[in-house]
Amino acid sequence: MIDVRGLTKRYGPTLAVDGLSFQVASGRVTGFLGPNGAGKSTTMRLILGLDTPNAGTATINGTSYRGRRFPMHEVGALLDAQALHPGRSAFHHLLALAQSNRIGRRRVDEVLGLVGLGDVAGRRAGPFSLGMQQRLGIASVMLGDPEILLFDEPVTGLDPEGIVWIRNLFHRLAGEGRTVFVSSHLMSEMALTAQHLVVIGRGKLIADDSIERITAGAGSRVRVLSPQRDELSSVLTSEGATVQTEDGALVVAGLDAPRVGDLAAAHRITLHELTPQRASLEEAFFELTEDSVEYHGGEPGWPGSKTGAKS
Amino acid sequence: MSTDTTVAAPGHAVEASHAPTSPRGAVLPAAVRAEWTKLRSVRSTVWSLVATIGITVALGMLFCFAYTRRFDRLGLRERLTFDPTAQSLRGLFLAQLAIGVLGVLVISSEYATGLIRTTLAAVPQRRVVLAAKGIVFGIIAAVVTTIAVFIAFFAGQAVLETKHLGASIGDPHVLRAVLGAAVYLTFVGLLGLAFGTIVRRTAGAIATLVGVVLVLPLLAQALPSPWNDDIAKFLPGGIGASLFSVRSLAGRLGPGAALLVALLWLVGTLAIATILISRRDA
């Protein structure tokens, strides 16, 4: 269990993390989502005791990271897969890490096999593709068979096969009761990988909820087709819903589909179509973070930016 | 086996096997093993060490050879103050940079690649990381430079012996001077490690090292007498001259005092390095 309380980190004039509080529970994959520059990597560094917070605390299983003696048996972390000495072989990179935490040499071969790098273990890691470096980084996390695993943007550089592989790995690890905390700026990936989301923007907590509730809470609509459109519209509006007309249909916000159907029946209004419209996680994410995107693109690029969403 | 137990078993097994089982034992020996693996598994380290030996020996022989060619034209005074041991060790001038740069790289290369974060996440007690690097690199540097200076001494004396100018390792103070040369090179290497930790960037740390080892003595010499000698003898270059000279030099520290001053330099710089690595964000 990772416990972050009131965490604040300032770099010069920039407030990178601003009073952040959340918990990461075991037995599920928790996605750590936010636009670039939102403070995800900073938060991870603070959890791992690499940076010192200006205020607040980050603890793992109740104690701070800095006091640990051989932490890799309890916590595994991959911050930057490219943080490698280019001239050192994959095997020796892992061996040095293993030795620093009294992990046996056999485990090094095991994790190399686990991530599919057994055949290139003796090769220098510098020329590895980003995907291979990610696999090597994942191997380093697995060395100590830790209960708590942190990954910062692990999907970057992986090919589609690698993405499916890593997603299954995360699910399996969480299924074994471990705590899996994965940061990403890709909502679509998190929708498939995570069961729970911690969303931040500009260093502040925006949401801490299950994927279902985040997508449901953000802009779910009901599309209704009725020959008595105006009559239905006034009934729904009087019940507190917001109603818009779109291609001859009503798009209702603020009431769920069963309630809309019940109201129509009660007022003897005929319905030709009643469709709940779930917002995609992208839309939910956009809605959550639109005020907190650090860098707006001038062209369509960042899916959550207002300027990018014109059309 | 009933259905109940098969359903329940994985959960219990997980809790049992994933209770944190941190191994017992001291942190430092584990970190030392890891640093030794890191140092030996990079080809550039090995080449730098070979280069340190090569420079020490080749330059020493070259200086000795040049002296034998010049010898017939030298005056009596110069012939009498000639120190054949120091002459064979003059490659140290360049070798100190090779070993010093390697000392810098032991830690600055980790900052350059970002590997330092992985290292400090694996060993959160940062003093232990620096101590392990110091122990491993210090031992390697001591062994390699001892080999280098002994080869340089014997090769240099063989060259000088063509004019019957060579010294013997058994002559007074010669063994101390040769060992002093290895001590000096190891000292500069560890100074490089301290500067690498303090400055973090390779280029800046090397510049600092060159500044302290080569430029500072020149600046000190520019001061009016007697300040120039009073300051220069406490600088690394002056310490080195005291350590690897057979004759006691005017205005220099004795070898024992020089060793003490070298240790003070290391204690001072490594203490600053330890404080900074512990307090700074990684």
Q: Within a domain: residue B126?
A: yes
- Domain extent, residue A197, equals 2-74+146-215
Q: What is the pLDDT of residues A143-190, one digit of tens each?
A: 999 999 999 999 888 889 999 999 999 999 999 999 999 999 888 888
Q: Within a domain: residue A17?
A: yes
Weakest-pLDDT range from A195-199, A225-229, A302-306? A302-306
User: Are residues A47 and A61 located together in one domain of the fold?
Assistant: yes
Q: In chain A, which ranges are E strands?
A: 2-11, 14-24, 28-33, 55-60, 75-78, 148-152, 179-184, 196-201, 204-210, 221-225, 242-246, 249-253, 273-277
User: Are residues A151 and A272 located together in one domain of the fold?
Assistant: no
**Nearest C-alpha in B relative to A124:** B42
Token code pair at residue B185: 């090179």
Q: Within a domain: residue B36?
A: yes
Q: What's the CA angle centered on A125, arms A123 and A130, to 5 degrees?
A: 130
Token code pair at residue A205: 């907590």
In 3D space, the residue among A172, A184, A148, A129 whose CA is nearest the CA of residue A48 turns out to be A148
Domain count, chain B: 1
Q: Within a domain: residue B17?
A: no
Select from A61, A73, A83 the Cβ nearest to the Cβ of B114: A83
Within 10 Å of residue A104's Cβ, how many Cβ atoms? 11
Select from A50, A65, A178 the Cβ nearest to the Cβ of B18: A178
Q: Within a domain: residue A256?
A: yes
Token code pair at residue B276: 């900074």
Residues in B closer than 8 angstroms to A70, CB to CB, are 22-23, 27, 30
User: Are residues A54 and A161 located together in one domain of the fold?
Assistant: yes
How many Å separate Cα A126 from the centre of its chain? Answer: 28
Select from A70, A96, A147 the Cβ nearest to the Cβ of B37: A96
Residues in A closer than 8 angstroms to B16, CB to CB, are none
Residue A293 has pLDDT above 80, yes or no: no
Q: What's the CA angle centered on A295, arms A294 and A296, to 5 degrees?
A: 120
User: Are residues A150 and A253 located together in one domain of the fold?
Assistant: no
Q: What is the pLDDT of residues B53-95, one digit of tens each?
A: 999 999 999 999 999 999 888 888 888 888 999 999 999 999 9
User: Are residues A196 and A246 located together in one domain of the fold?
Assistant: no
User: Are residues A201 and A243 located together in one domain of the fold?
Assistant: no
In 3D space, the residue among B282, B269, B279 whose CA is nearest the CA of residue B110 turns out to be B282
SS3 call for A205: strand
Stronger pLDDT, A23 or B225, i.e. the higher one: A23
- Packing angle between helix B255-279 and helix B126-160, nearest 10 degrees? 150
Contact state of B115 with A77 under an 8 Å Cβ cutoff: no
Token code pair at residue A62: 């109740």
Residues in A closer than 8 angstroms to B117, CB to CB, are 45, 48, 50, 79-80, 83
Token code pair at residue A233: 């519209």
| Chain B nearest CA to A283, separation (Å) | 35
CA atoms within 13 A on the CB side of B174: 16
Within 10 Å of residue B139's Cβ, how many Cβ atoms? 13
Here the ipTM equals 0.87
Task: Report the alpha-carbon distance of residue A132 to residue A86 in Å, rounded.
Answer: 13
- On whether the CB atoms of residues A68 and A232 are closer than 8 A, the answer is no
User: Are residues A231 and A196 located together in one domain of the fold?
Assistant: no
Task: Report the alpha-carbon distance of residue B42 to residue B11 in Å, rounded.
Answer: 43
- On whether the CB atoms of residues A38 and A292 are closer than 8 A, the answer is yes
- On whether the CB atoms of residues A45 and A32 are closer than 8 A, the answer is no
CA atoms within 13 A on the CB side of B263: 6
Residue A292 has pLDDT above 80, yes or no: no
- Domain extent, residue B48, equals 25-279
What residues contact A121, with CB distance under 8 A and at least 6 apart? A89, A90, A91, A109, A112
Contact state of A84 with B30 under an 8 Å Cβ cutoff: no
Residue A93 has pLDDT above 80, yes or no: yes
Q: What is the pLDDT of residues A241-278, one digit of tens each?
A: 888 888 888 988 888 888 899 999 999 999 999 988 76
Q: Within a domain: residue A265?
A: yes
- Quote the pLDDT of residue B15: 40
Contact state of A88 with B42 under an 8 Å Cβ cutoff: yes
User: Are residues A271 and A152 located together in one domain of the fold?
Assistant: no
Contact state of A102 with B15 under an 8 Å Cβ cutoff: no
User: Are residues A155 and A271 located together in one domain of the fold?
Assistant: no
> What CATH number should be reported for the domain holding residue A249?
3.30.70.980
| Chain A nearest CA to B117, separation (Å) | 7
Stronger pLDDT, B67 or B21, i.e. the higher one: B67
Q: Within a domain: residue A47?
A: yes
Contact state of B124 with A65 under an 8 Å Cβ cutoff: yes
Residue B1 has pLDDT above 60, yes or no: no
User: Are residues A61 and A36 located together in one domain of the fold?
Assistant: yes
User: Are residues A206 and A246 located together in one domain of the fold?
Assistant: no
Return the residue in B33, B105, B118 with the most chain A beta carbons within 10 A, the one to mutate for interface testing: B118
Residue A304 has pLDDT above 80, yes or no: no
In 3D space, the residue among A37, A62, A66, A70 whose CA is nearest the CA of residue A53 turns out to be A66
Query: Which residues are paired to A15 by β-bridges?
Result: A10
Q: Within a domain: residue B55?
A: yes
Residue A100 has pLDDT above 80, yes or no: yes
Computed on alpha carbons and rounded to an integer, the radius of gyration of chain A in Å comes to: 24
In 3D space, the residue among A184, A209, A202 whose CA is nearest the CA of residue A291 turns out to be A202
| Chain B nearest CA to A301, separation (Å) | 28
Q: Within a domain: residue B59?
A: yes
Task: Report the alpha-carbon distance of residue A182 to residue A29 in Å, rounded.
Answer: 7
> What CATH number should be reported for the domain holding residue A9?
3.40.50.300
Q: Tell the residue number behind the tokens 């003796």, with chain if given.
A: A122
Q: Within a domain: residue B51?
A: yes
Q: What's the CA angle centered on B62, arms B50 and B138, to 5 degrees?
A: 30
Q: Interface of chain A against chain B, CB under 8 Å? A: 45, 48-52, 61, 65-74, 77, 79-80, 82-89, 92-93, 95-97, 99-102, 140, 145, 147, 176-178
Q: Within a domain: residue B19?
A: no
Return the residue in A70, A124, A140 with the most chain B beta carbons within 10 A, the one to mutate for interface testing: A70
Select from A70, A82, A177 the Cβ nearest to the Cβ of B18: A177
Q: What is the pLDDT of residues B99-155, one digit of tens each?
A: 999 999 999 999 999 999 999 999 999 999 999 999 999 999 999 999 999 999 999
Task: Report the alpha-carbon distance of residue A188 to residue A281 in Å, rounded.
Answer: 7
Confidence category of residue A281, pLDDT binned at 50, 70, 90: low
Q: What is this structure's pTM?
A: 0.83
Q: Within a domain: residue B1?
A: no
Contact state of B121 with A79 under an 8 Å Cβ cutoff: yes
Q: Regarding beta strands A196-201 and A28-33, do their DSSP bridges make them parallel or antiparallel, or are they unpaired?
A: parallel
- Quote the pLDDT of residue A211: 84
Last residue of a domain, one of A215, A231, A263: A215
Task: Report the alpha-carbon distance of residue B56 to residue B93 in Å, rounded.
Answer: 8
Number of Cβ pairs < 8 A linking chain A and chain B: 118
Select from A74, A87, A101 the Cβ nearest to the Cβ of B42: A87
Return the residue in B12, B28, B38 with the most chain A beta carbons within 10 A, the one to mutate for interface testing: B38
What residues contact B78, with CB distance under 8 A and at least 6 apart? none
Domain count, chain A: 2
Token code pair at residue B10: 């994985």
Contact state of B20 with A73 under an 8 Å Cβ cutoff: yes
In 3D space, the residue among A199, A246, A205, A203 whose CA is nearest the CA of residue A222 turns out to be A246
User: Are residues A248 and A209 located together in one domain of the fold?
Assistant: no
Q: What is the pLDDT of residues A184-216, one digit of tens each?
A: 988 888 888 999 999 998 899 988 999 888 776
**Nearest C-alpha in A relative to B44:** A87
Mean pLDDT of A62-88: 95
SS3 call for A269: coil
CA atoms within 13 A on the CB side of A252: 32
